[in-house]
Structure 1
Amino acid sequence: MGGGATRLYSTLAHTLSSSGGSSHRVPLPLAHLERYQPADTNLDPDLCQGQKGSSLSPLDPAEVLRQCKEALSDRPPRFRRTFIQPSDSNAGTIRVMQWNILAQALGEGLDSFVQCPPEALNWSRRKYLILDEILTYRPHVLCLQEVDHYFDTLQPVLVRLGYSSRFCPKPWSPCLDVEGNNGPDGCALFFDESRFELLDCVSLQLSAMTIPTNQVALVMILRCRITMRHVCVAVTHLKARSGWEWLRSAQGSDLLRQIQNVVQTHTVRTSAGSSVPIPLIICGDFNAIPTEEVYCRFVTSPLGLDSAYKKLSQDCSTEPEFTTWKIRPTGECCTTLDYIWYSQDTLRVDAVLDMPSEEEIGPNRLPSFSYPSDHLSLVCDFSFKEDE
C-alpha cells in the first residue's frame, strides 16, 4: 500500500484515539478507504466488476456456487457438515452465519501457520473457498471478522446476490504492517435484503475503562419482512492473545452496554402501551475460552443471553470442543473462541451446523487447501418464539 493510504489510516487512527470518552459511533470515512482498494482482476469478471456492484445485474447463487466449485476442482473436497436439529424449522426461520475468515494480510504475513502450504493461502484460491462456504449455507445474516477484501471482493459479489452490508475497519489494523496489504481488516455485517429491512446501523469502537481500543463492532436493527418483528444483530472481534483477558472482559461489558443503548432507542410498543423486547443475536470471535470472564459476563448479562452452539452437546450446557484448530510456531491450538449469542426468551434455536471431525480437518490443521480460515464457520437457524 502506498504512502498516501498509510497516512490516511494513521490520521484516522489518531482522530479516533484522540476523541476520548466511551464507545461511540465511529465516524469512518469509508468512501476514502474504498479508494485504496485495488480491483480484484483474478475473480471471474462476471462476478466482480470493480467496486460498483450495486449497479450491476443480479447474480444467480447457484451459478456463482458452480463457478466456485469449478475453480476449486483440483483441490481436496470441503468438509461435509450437517445440521443438528433440536426442533423443526418454519417459514420464519432466520439463518445466521458467524465466521472469522482470516485476513489475507495476516494469513500470509503475520500468523505463521507453519504446517499450511503457502499455496493454500493464496487469495486467488482462498476467495473461492470463502464464497463457496457462504453460498453453501446461504445465511440471511452473515457476520464476518478479519475482513480485508470487503470492497474489491465480498461486497461487490454479495450485493449482486441480494445482500446489503456495512463494514467497520479496525483503527490500527495489524494488516497495515504487512507489505502489499489490501488495507485494514475489520468486521462486516451482511443481510439478505429480500428478508430484512435495515432500520439502523451503529459502528462502535470498543472501550476499556473509557479508553478507546483497537477492537470494533457493528450493531444493526433489522425488521423481518415475513414476521415484521425487529431483531438486533451485532458482530465483533475482541482482543486476541493470552494475557489480555482483562481487556476482553472490559470490551465485552462495553459492547453489552452499547447494545442495550441501541435497543432502547428502538423500543417497540403494543397498542396497550407495553414494550416488546427486541431479540438479540450477537456474533463474534471473542478470542476467549468458555471459562474466561468475558464469557461469564455474557452468560450472566441481564439481556438474557445464551450461546447457540451449546445445542450441539447432549445436555445443551457445554460449548464445542473447538471452533479453531491451527499450528503456529508456539504450538498447536485447538479451542473454542467463536460464539453466537441469542435472546433465549424471544428466540428459539431450530438447527445448528455441526463441526468437522479431527480426521476431516487433517494433521496439518487449519487453514488448508480444503478450508480457507483457521476458524470454522458457525451456522444457526433461529425463529421467533411467538411464531411457534
Structure 2
Amino acid sequence: MEESNDCAYLREFATTNQCELMFALNLHVEGVGLLQEEVRAVRQVTDTVESLLQHIVNKIRKSVKNLKENAAENSDSDLKVPISLTNGFTENIRGKTVLKNLINSNIGAIRFQIFDQSYFVVINAPLVKEIKLPLILYAHFTVQASKLFCLFTDHSSSQFSWFKSKDKENWTQVATTSKYKIKHDDIDHYLKLVCVPCNSVLTGPSAEAISENKVELIGDLPTCPFEERHKFTSQPSNNNCFRVVSYNVLSNRYTDSADSFPYCPPKFLAIDYRKQLITKELLGYKADVICLQEVDSSVFTTYYKDIFKNAGYMSFYHKKGNKSSEGLACFFNKTRFKKVDDHQIIYSNEIKKKLYTHLWNFVKVNPDLRDLFMRQLTSLHVTVLKLKLAKKSHTLIFGNTHLFYRPEHELVRILQINMATTYLQSLNQNYSQNNSVKVILCGDFNSIPTSAVYDYVANGKLHKNHPVFQNTKNHPILFHNFQFESACGTPTYTNYTENFKNCLDYIFIEKNKLKVNKVVPFPTEEELGNYIGCPNEVYPSDHLALVADLKLAT
C-alpha cells in the first residue's frame, strides 16, 4: 500500500474499539543511514493523545535501535523524538484528550509533526485492508478481486485499474473497471489490480494486488462421472412428476486458503473451471427445481443467472445472512412452474419473534449458546411455486438451507432446523386454505444419518432429555407436524473429501403427499475411490448432487 507523503491517516476500528495512526516515515539517522518505514500505531479508542504519541516514539526508537545494530553502530543514548499533534498549525491538542473524542470532534485541520516532517491528518479515510486476485486466471473469463475488504469505502465511488505485464516490472493498462474480462492477448501475462478507495467525501491510499500466476487457456473439459448419471435423466419428467436437485456447489471463498483441499491442483479448484462443470452437470439432469448451497454471489450474477435463463429457468438468489459473499439459490423450470413467492429468513434475526418463543426462552438463559447462535448468518431460502398443467391446483413450498458446519455444535443446528420446520409449518397453514400444498426441504444439513438433526426431521420430535441438550438448562420439547422422509434415503456419501466421507445432504419430502418415483444413483464407492477426495478434475465440488423424481400422491 502507498500512503500520501504529506498525509497521516487516523482511523477508528469499531469492531475492536481500537484506532490507528498510520504514516510514512523517512528519517535520516546520523552515522547510520535512512530509516524508511510505514508506521502503524494502534491504541484503544479510550486511550489519550499522549498515550498515542508516546507509543509512536517507542516504535521509532526501537526501529532506530535495530538500524544501528545492523550497522554495528554503538550508541546507547535514547533518540530524542520531537512529536506533536496540533489544531491547525499552532495550538497543541491536549495530551489528555481521549482519542475517540478527537476522532469525533470537528476540530478541522489537524497536523501531525514528527522531526521535520509534517502531515495533514485525515480522519477515517477510505482504506483497503485486504485485496487479492484469484490464484488461477483463465483467458475469456471475467476476473475480479477474490478478496476485497475495505473500510469507510463506497465501492461504487472507488476507482479500479487493471494492468498486464510479462515480467511484473513493465505494466500496460487494460481496463478501468472493478471486473475485467480477460482477453486472449493476455495469455502468458500477469495481471495487476489497483484500487483507489473512495467515499462521497474522501479518497484513501491506493492498494494493489498482483497475480501469482500468468493467464492461461482453460482447454477442453474432461469427460466426467456425472455424465453417467445423466443417462438416468435423458428425458424430462412427465406431467405427474417433477425432478428436484439439491447440491452444495462449494463456494470459491472456501477454496482460497493453502490448506483447502490440498490434494486438488489449483487449476481445478479455480471457480472459472468448476463453474463450467457445475453448469454442465446441472443442465444434464433436466431438473424442474434446483436448490443450491454455497453459491458465490458474483458467479450467480455474472454466470449462472444468464445461462439458466437461456435454458428456460427462472432463478432467485439470497446471500447468506444478506451479507456473505455466498448463499442459497433456487432455479425452476418456467414451463412447468409459476412463481408465487420467494424470500429468505435469517435464523438469528428471527428467533426473538413470537413464532419461536419456545426456542428463545431456551436460548436466552444459556449465554454461550445464545452468543454462538446469534453470530451465525445461517438462512432459510423459501420459494413457493404453483405447478402448471396439473388437473388440480398444487402449491409447492421449497425450503433450502445450509446449517451450521462445526461438528461439535449440533445444538445450534437443532435450533436452526427447528426454526426451519416451524416457519414452513406456518407457511403451509397459510397456503393450505385454498390449495393442495406440498413442502420439500432441501439442503446441506451438515448432519449424518445418526445425528439428532436427522432424527428430528425424520421422526418429528426431539425430547427435552435428548443428549444434545447436555450442559444446558430450560430444555424445550421440539416437534413438527410434517411426515418427512429423505427422498434419496441415506446414501453412503454425499460429501467426499480426504478427511471426511459421509452423508450430509438430503431432500426431505412429505411422504403422505409425495412419492419417490426415481432416484438418480450416486457414484459408487469404487468410482469415488479413484480419487483422494473431491473436488478434483472431474468432480467440481466436495459434495455430490442429489437428484430425485417426485410424484404427486393421488
TM-score by length of 1: 0.72
Matched, 1:323 2:482: no
Matched, 1:309 2:496: no
- C-alpha contact 1:81 1:355 (8 A) present in aligned 2: yes
Q: Deviations along 1:31-71, whole A, 9 cap, x unmatched?
A: xxxxx99476689xxxxxxxxxxxxxxxxxxxxxxxxxxx7
Cα separation, partners in 2 of 1:37 and 1:373, compared to 1, 3 Å: farther
- Give the match for residue 97 of structure 1: 245
Q: Distance in 1 between matches of 2:263 and 2:525?
A: 16
State which of 392, 412, 437 in structure 2 corresponds to 1:247. Answer: 412
Cα separation, partners in 2 of 1:96 and 1:38, compared to 1, 3 Å: farther
Q: Distance in 2 between matches of 1:141 and 1:153?
A: 18
Q: Distance in 1 between matches of 2:152 and 2:232?
A: 46
Q: Distance in 1 between matches of 2:483 and 2:398?
A: 15
- C-alpha contact 2:293 2:329 (8 A) present in aligned 1: yes
Please say which structure displays the higher CA radius of gyration: 2
Q: Distance in 2 between matches of 1:260 and 1:219?
A: 12
Q: Distance in 1 between matches of 2:538 and 2:183?
A: 19
Q: Distance in 1 between matches of 2:257 and 2:248?
A: 17
Matched, 1:224 2:387: yes
Cα separation, partners in 2 of 1:277 and 1:300, compared to 1, 3 Å: farther
Residue aligned with 1:81, SS? helix
- Give the match for residue 356 of structure 1: 523
In the alignment, residue 347 of structure 2 is paired with which amino acid? L
Deviation of 1:217 after TM superposition, in Å, equals: 1.4
Matched, 1:284 2:443: yes
- 1:1-388 superposed matches below 5 A: 1-3=147-149, 38=179, 73-79=220-226, 80-81=228-229, 90-109=238-257, 112-148=260-296, 149-171=299-321, 184-207=325-348, 209-210=359-360, 212=374, 213-227=376-390, 228-269=393-434, 277-301=436-460, 302-310=481-489, 319-327=490-498, 332-361=499-528, 362-386=530-554
Residue aligned with 1:108, SS? coil
Q: Distance in 1 between matches of 2:181 and 2:522?
A: 32
- C-alpha contact 1:40 1:152 (8 A) present in aligned 2: no
Cα separation, partners in 2 of 1:2 and 1:233, compared to 1, 3 Å: same
Residue aligned with 1:278, SS? strand
Q: Deviations along 1:304-358, whole A, 9 cap, x unmatched?
A: 1111112xxxxxxxx111111102xxxx211000000001111111100111123
Q: Distance in 1 between matches of 2:501 and 2:306?
A: 34
Q: Distance in 2 between matches of 1:120 and 1:6?
A: 36
Aligned pair count reads: 303
Cα separation, partners in 2 of 1:138 and 1:291, compared to 1, 3 Å: same
- Give the match for residue 177 of structure 1: none
Normalized per residue, the structure richer in strand is 2
Cα separation, partners in 2 of 1:197 and 1:105, compared to 1, 3 Å: same
In the alignment, residue 347 of structure 1 is paired with which amino acid? L
In the alignment, residue 497 of structure 2 is paired with which amino acid? K
Q: Deviations along 1:173-199, whole A, 9 cap, x unmatched?
A: 7xxxxxxxxx61001111111110111
- C-alpha contact 2:289 2:331 (8 A) present in aligned 1: yes
**Which runs of 5 or more residues in structure 1 are unaligned?**
10-35, 44-70, 174-182, 270-275, 311-318
Deviation of 1:103 after TM superposition, in Å, equals: 0.3
Q: Distance in 2 between matches of 1:196 and 1:168?
A: 20
RMSD of aligned Cα (Å): 2.8
Cα separation, partners in 2 of 1:41 and 1:237, compared to 1, 3 Å: farther
Q: Deviations along 1:107-128, whole A, 9 cap, x unmatched?
A: 2337611211111111221111
Residue aligned with 1:151, SS? helix
Cα separation, partners in 2 of 1:154 and 1:243, compared to 1, 3 Å: same
Identity within the alignment, %: 29
Cα separation, partners in 2 of 1:266 and 1:74, compared to 1, 3 Å: closer
In the alignment, residue 249 of structure 1 is paired with which amino acid? I
Cα separation, partners in 2 of 1:7 and 1:253, compared to 1, 3 Å: farther
Deviation of 1:266 after TM superposition, in Å, equals: 1.4
Q: Distance in 1 between matches of 2:327 and 2:496?
A: 21
Q: Distance in 1 between matches of 2:525 and 2:421?
A: 34
Residue aligned with 2:497, SS? strand
In the alignment, residue 219 of structure 1 is paired with which amino acid? V
In the alignment, residue 508 of structure 2 is paired with which amino acid? W
Deviation of 1:166 after TM superposition, in Å, equals: 1.4
Residue aligned with 1:167, SS? strand
- C-alpha contact 1:39 1:152 (8 A) present in aligned 2: no
TM-score by length of 2: 0.51
- C-alpha contact 2:230 2:285 (8 A) present in aligned 1: no
In the alignment, residue 267 of structure 2 is paired with which amino acid? E
Q: Deviations along 1:72-112, whole A, 9 cap, x unmatched?
A: 74535334237889xxx743210000000000121233761
Which has the higher relative contact order, 1 or 2, with Cα contacts under 8 A spaced 6 or more apart?
A: 1
- C-alpha contact 1:37 1:151 (8 A) present in aligned 2: no
